[in-house]
Structure 1
Amino acid sequence: LFATADDELRPVMNGVFIELSTEDIKFVASDAHKLVRYKRFDAKAEKDASFILPKKPAALLKSLLPKEDFDVKLDFDDKNAFFTLSNFKLICRLVEGNYPSYNSVIPT
């Protein structure tokens, strides 16, 4: 979250780009000065997909997650993301637009 921007002209940079694949999940954020990519290999998706999670719901989700590992179910459509945990459900509107290609800056 520390790498997300506060740019009214480029709202896609104000969130966390989540890229799901059958091999891993990547979280990407940038404020045009720093670029951060975090990979998790212990979580996978049934098919490749991606979306941009706004900064405020991402911060709320981070603060609500306990330090221990447990299952988080993620569903989403073109406009919303649905996070289901053991004791609550978070629903948020996604950022519309395409996240810039970061693969040329950070090697795979």
Structure 2
Amino acid sequence: MKKINQLINRGVDQKLHQMDTLAEVIAHFFSISVENRFWPLLKNQRITLLTDDPHFATQARFQQHLLCKHLSKCLNINIRGIDIKVIGLHLASAEQKMGDFSTSSHAAHIMQSIARARH
């Protein structure tokens, strides 16, 4: 039987660590707890900040240039920009079954819009 560490893909492990680090730096910048409902993603030197809190999204939009500079300095990488997206998790409760993977139609729409925005 394999050890659990052998089953974890290194890329997945690195991405999860990156998300944790981003969340900690962002939480420190806004002086909020890490348990707040936001999820940062880093791809191609751009951060997509997902949140289900419209008040936090508004605050982040007003401070996105300062946040971008702060993240670039703290993480020692060049962040070109930040996209802030409000998602409605309460709407994701009505699930739509799609094979072995289940998702709500609203969540699928959000994922499609994020994918379109990235290309």
TM-score range, shorter chain: under 0.3
Greater RCO structure (CA 8 Å; 6+ sep)? 1
Q: TM-score, normalised by structure 1?
A: 0.24
| Structure with a larger share of its residues in strand | 1
Larger Rg: 2
Q: TM-score, normalised by structure 2?
A: 0.23
